């Protein structure tokens, strides 16, 4: 039986603890038709990823 869901309150801490694929796998049967990849992106924005470190070459002015 497919259930009609209204608002879905995803746990942000769970989303942050797993990658997108695991997130989608976890929910795809419970919430079919929901764009789970987009939901993941809302919970774990890409700009929150660890910043890339700048490499500074020594001896160069």
Partner 1 sequence: MSTALNQSICLQAGGNTGVGNCFINPKETIGAIILPPGTSFSGSSIATPSAFLAALITATMAPKKQRAYPMHDFQELKDGSESLTEQSFGYGGKAPVREGFFIWEFQYVKGGLCLSKSMRKFNNSNVDVLFVDAEGLVWGLKVGDTLQGINQSYIYSNPPKWNDGSKATAYTQKFVFKPQFLDSFGYIQLGAADFDQVQGLQNVVISSGGARVTNVSLLKANLSCGAESGADVFDLYSTELAAAANWIAKDAITNNVVAITSVAANNTIGGWTGTLDTGDANYNATHAVIWTFAAPTVLAGNSILGIESNTFQTPN
Selected binder of partner 1 within 4, 38, 50, 55 (CB under 8 A): 4
CB-based contacts of 14: which residues, under 8 Å, 6+ apart? 23
Q: Tell the burial category of 36 from Cβ atoms under 10 Å away from its Cβ (0-12, 13-18, 19+).
A: buried
Q: What element of type H or E holds 15?
A: helix 12-17
Is 33 a binding residue for partner 1 by CB under 8 A? The answer is no
Which 8-27 positions form the footprint of partner 1 (CB under 8 A)? 8-11, 13-14, 18, 26-27
Is 30 a binding residue for partner 1 by CB under 8 A? The answer is yes
Judged by the rule CB under 8 A, the positions of this chain that interact with partner 1 are 1, 3-11, 13-14, 18, 26-27, 30-31
């Amino acid at each position: 039986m497919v259930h009609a869901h209204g608002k879905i309150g995803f746990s942000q801490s769970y989303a942050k603890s797993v990658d997108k694929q695991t997130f989608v796998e976890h929910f795809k049967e419970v919430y079919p038709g929901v764009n789970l990849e987009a939901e993941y992106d809302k919970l774990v924005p890409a700009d929150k990823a660890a910043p890339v470190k700048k490499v500074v070459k020594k001896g160069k002015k």
